[in-house]
Amino acid sequence: MRKNPSGIKEIARRAGVHHSTVSRVLNAQTRSLVSGKVATDILHIAEALGYRRNSMAVGLKTSRSFTIGVIVPDLTNPVFPPIVRAVERTMGTEGYVTVLADTDNSMETERIVLDSLYSRQVDGLILATALLNDDIVAECRKRLVPFVLVNRTISGATATSVVTNDSYGIRLAVEHLVELGHRKLAYVGGPLNASTSKSRHEGFREAMTAHRLKADPRIMYECRSLTSDAGSTACQSLIQSKRRFTAIVAANDLLALGCYAALDAAGLKCPADVSVTGYNDMPFAEHFAPPLTTLRIPLTEMGNQAALLLLRKMRDPKTVLPSVQLQPSLVVRGSTAPPSRSR
Amino acid sequence: MRKNPSGIKEIARRAGVHHSTVSRVLNAQTRSLVSGKVATDILHIAEALGYRRNSMAVGLKTSRSFTIGVIVPDLTNPVFPPIVRAVERTMGTEGYVTVLADTDNSMETERIVLDSLYSRQVDGLILATALLNDDIVAECRKRLVPFVLVNRTISGATATSVVTNDSYGIRLAVEHLVELGHRKLAYVGGPLNASTSKSRHEGFREAMTAHRLKADPRIMYECRSLTSDAGSTACQSLIQSKRRFTAIVAANDLLALGCYAALDAAGLKCPADVSVTGYNDMPFAEHFAPPLTTLRIPLTEMGNQAALLLLRKMRDPKTVLPSVQLQPSLVVRGSTAPPSRSR
C-alpha cells in the first residue's frame, strides 16, 4: 500500500500554504472553505505528485470514507439495477462512491456482507433487503451506521424508507381485470416476510372484497422466492388444481414470467385463455411475448430519494427523517384481455 | 467504530489457549492449522463475546481484507449479473466477500471506483470493463493489485483473462443465416475499443469472405454503446439508407432488441421481413417477441473461472497464469427464418 507520510506537507510546501489548508482541500466536505483558485492549485499539485488519500489512515482518524454501500437481495432481478444506478449518480455528484453487494436472498450472506462493508468503513448504507422482522436493521442501529431502506420496509415502518404503495398497486391490477370482465382471479405472491409481498397480498384480498368477489385461498399462492421458477411452479399447481380461473395477478414481473412459461407448457394462451398481470414494470417487461401488463414503480425516483435521504442522515445522524411513499401506476399491455367464454 | 483491543486475549483466556491460536482461528486462511474441536470452541466464544475482527486494523497489519471487487461497465445489462453471481459464490466458499462497482461506461468513474476499492484494501479485482488500450489495467499493475479480466481483454491479451471466442461466435451466426438463404447481411456492432466488439466485427468480415459474400461497409454500423437505444438508432439509419438487407447480425442482445424496436416502428416484421441475431444469450432473451436467436456464452462458467484464477493470483501474485477461452454456441429461436422473396 502506498504511504504518504509527508504527502500533505510536500503539497503545502509547493503551494506555499499551511498544511491544514491542503487537508481541507483534499477533503470534499471542507473544500468549500478554501478559495477556488487556491483549491484548484492544490488539487493540481496533488495530482502532479501522484498523491492519493490513504483512505484507511484518513478513515481511522475522521471515520469518513466517502463510500456508501447498497445491499440488494437478488442482483439477477432487473428491478434493482435502475435503482442502484440512480443511487450511484446522485451519490456521485456529492463525491461518494457506491459499492454494491448482493445477498442472493441469504440472511447469512447479508450478515457477512454487512460485516465486510462496515469494516471497510462505508459511511452509510441503502438496504433493499429488509424483511418485516429484520436483524440487519437492528445491527445497523447498534453500529450507528446511517441507513435508508428502499423498496421494502420493516414491521411498523419504524426506519426511514422509500417504498411504493403496494396495496394500491395491486388494487389497480384487480380493478383492471374486473373491468375486463374477469371474476375468478388467482394470485401468485411472494414470501410474506417482506413488506412488499405482504402488502400486495393484503391489497389483493381487500380489492377483491371491495368488488364483492371472493379472494379464494385455494387459488392463492405464496411462493418462497420472487423468481420466474417459483412463479412457474405455483402456476403449474394452479393449473393442476383444476379450479376455475381466468386471470392471474402476480406479485412481481418475474413471477408473471414464470406463469407465462407454465401456461405455455400446459397449452394455454395468454391472454386468450388466461390474462396475467405483473408488478414493477422491470426493464424488458415491454419486450416479453406477450408484452406484460404490470404496475410501474418509479425505480429511478426511488433510488434518487433514497440517496438524498441517506445524504441527509450522514450529515446529521440524529435527525429523524420522514419516509417517502411513491405511487405505482398501471401499464396496460398485451397480457390482459377479456376472459374467454369457454373458461 | 467498535474497538477490540483485548478481544483476542479475552477469547484466548476463556478458551485456555495461546492468543496466537485464536488469531489463527479467526483468520480463514490459517484456520485449518488448528484442530477442529479447538477451532469450533474458539469461534463459539468469539461469537458469544460479540467479537468482530476489526478489518481495518487487521488490514493495516496483514494487508488482507478477504474482500474482492468486481467492476462492471453497465449494471443494467443483464449479461453481467450471472457472471457476478458466479464470482460471489465461488469466492464465498473461500471466505471472500465480493463487492461490485458499476462504472456506467465512464472511464472517469472507473478511476474513482478503483481508487475507492483500492483504499478500502480489496485483495483482488475482477474487471469486466477492459478496453483494448486500458489505463486501468496499467494502474492495477502499478499498484500490484492481483486482477483478472473477464469477458473482455486488452490489446495483445497480455493480462490473465477469461473470454469467449468472439469471432467464432459471429461466424456461427453468419453461417446460420447463410444456410437459411440470406445473402445481404447487415451488421450492428459495438465500439471497436473493446476486444469483444473488435473480434466480432472482424469475425463478421471473415465469415462473409469465407462464404464469398461481401461485408458491405455501407450496411455495417459501429454503435457508441452496447445498448438497446444505440441498436435502435443504427437500425433506423440502416432502414433509411434504403440499401437492401434481409438479416441483421447484432453484436449483442441489447443491440438486437433495439433493432426489433426500429423494425417494428418501420412496419417491418421479424423474422418475416428481416431476421435478427444477437450475442450473449442474456437472461430473458428467450422471452422476447420473437424469442431471440443468439450466441450463448457460458456466463456462470466465465465467473467461476475468473474467480478461480483470481484466487490463484492472490495466493501467489508472481505466478503467470494462462488465460482461458471458452466457446460460444448458437441458440436458434424465433428471430431467424428464410428471407422473404419480396426483399
Is pLDDT of A293 > 70? Answer: yes
* Per-residue pLDDT, B48: 72
Mean pLDDT across the stretch B269-274? 98
Mean pLDDT across the stretch B151-171? 95
The neighbour count for residue A98, using CB atoms within 10 Å, is 26
CB A149 within 8 A of CB A161: yes
* Per-residue pLDDT, A4: 43
Scan residues 256-315 of B and list those with Cβ closer than 8 Å to A: 257, 260, 283-284, 287-291
As a whole number of angstroms, the distance between CA B176 and CA A268 comes to 31
**Complex ipTM tops 0.95:** no
* Per-residue pLDDT, B343: 58
Query: Per the CB < 8 Å rule, is B143 touching A81?
Result: no
* Per-residue pLDDT, A5: 40
* Per-residue pLDDT, B147: 96
Confidence class for position B166, pLDDT limits 50, 70, 90: very high
SS3 string, chain B, reads CCCCCCHHHHHHHHHCCCHHHHHHHHCCCCHHHCCHHHHHHHHHHHHHCCCCCCHHHHHHHHCCCCEEEEEECCCCCCCHHHHHHHHHHHHHHCCCEEEEEECCCCHHHHHHHHHHHHHCCCCEEEECCCCCCCHHHHHHHHCCCCEEEECCCCHHHCCCEEEECHHHHHHHHHHHHHHHCCCCEEEEECCCCCHHHHHHHHHHHHHHHHCCCCCCHHHEEECCCCCHHHHHHHHHHHHHCCCCCCEEEECCHHHHHHHHHHHHHCCCCCCCCCEEECCECCCCHHHECCCCEEEECCHHHHHHHHHHHHHHHHHCCCCCCCCEEECCEEECCCCCCCCCCCC
**Cell 483500492 sits at which residue?**
B118
Q: Which of A268-282, B15-29, B109-123, B286-300 has the lowest mean pLDDT?
A: B15-29
If 0-12 CB within 10 Å is exposed, 13-18 middle and 19+ buried, where does residue B152 land? buried
Mean pLDDT across the stretch A265-273? 97
* Per-residue pLDDT, A291: 97
Beta bridge pairs of residue B164: B326
pTM exceeding 0.80:
yes
As a whole number of angstroms, the distance between CA B70 and CA B308 comes to 14
Q: Which of A1-5, A202-206, B185-189, B295-299 has the lowest mean pLDDT?
A: A1-5
Q: Among B65, B84, B289, whose Cβ lies nearest the Cβ of A288?
A: B289
Scan residues 129-148 of B and list those with Cβ closer than 8 Å to A: 143
CB B140 within 8 A of CB B85: no
Residue of A nearest to B334 (CA): A289
Query: Per the CB < 8 Å rule, is B67 touching A2?
Result: no
Catalogue all structural domains in chain B, each as residue range(s) with its CATH number.
7-62 (1.10.260.40), 67-164+298-327 (3.40.50.2300), 166-297 (3.40.50.2300)
B65 contacts on A by Cβ (under 8 Å)? 116, 119-120
* Per-residue pLDDT, A51: 67
DSSP character at residue A218: G
Is pLDDT of A241 > 50? Answer: yes
A288 contacts on B by Cβ (under 8 Å)? 284, 287-289
Confidence class for position A1, pLDDT limits 50, 70, 90: very low
Q: Which of B42-46, B126-130, B165-169 has the lowest mean pLDDT?
A: B42-46
Encode pLDDT of A138-179 as tens digits. Answer: 989 988 899 999 999 999 888 999 999 999 999 999 999 999
Confidence class for position B5, pLDDT limits 50, 70, 90: very low
Residue of A nearest to B71 (CA): A99
How many Cβ pairs closer than 8 A exist between chain A and B? Answer: 140
Local structure of A182: helix, strand or coil: coil
Mean pLDDT across the stretch A110-131? 91
Q: Which of A175-179, A275-279, B19-23, B46-50 has the lowest mean pLDDT?
A: B46-50
Among B147, B238, B237, B155, which residue's Cα sits nearest to residue B192? B155
Query: Per the CB < 8 Å rule, is A65 touching B120?
Result: yes
Q: Does B2 touch chain A (CB under 8 A)?
A: yes
Tell which of B229, B287, B299, B333 to mutate to test the A interface (max A CBs under 10 Å).
B287
Query: Per the CB < 8 Å rule, is B55 touching A97?
Result: no
As a whole number of angstroms, the distance between CA A28 and CA B240 comes to 49
> Across A32-36, A92-96, B27-31, which has the greatest mean pLDDT?
A92-96
Is pLDDT of A93 > 50? Answer: yes
Q: Among A97, A109, A257, whose Cβ lies nearest the Cβ of B113?
A: A97
* Spatial strand order in the sheet of A147-150: A324-326, A161-164, A147-150, A124-127, A67-72, A97-102, B97-102, B67-72, B124-127, B147-150, B161-164, B324-326
* Per-residue pLDDT, B32: 60
* Per-residue pLDDT, B43: 78
Mean pLDDT across the stretch A237-259? 97
Q: A109 to chain B, minimum CA–CA distance in Å?
A: 9
Encode pLDDT of B282-303 as tens digits. Answer: 999 999 999 999 999 999 999 9
Mean pLDDT across the stretch B158-186? 97
* Per-residue pLDDT, A177: 98
Encode pLDDT of A24-77 as tens digits. Answer: 777 765 665 667 677 778 877 877 776 655 443 444 445 678 999 999 999 999
Q: Which helix (H) or strand (E) holds A254?
A: helix A253-265
Tell which of B56, B122, B294 to mutate to test the A interface (max A CBs under 10 Å).
B56
Mean pLDDT across the stretch B246-272? 98
Beta bridge pairs of residue B188: B221, B250
Is pLDDT of B3 > 70? Answer: no
Average pLDDT, chain B: 90
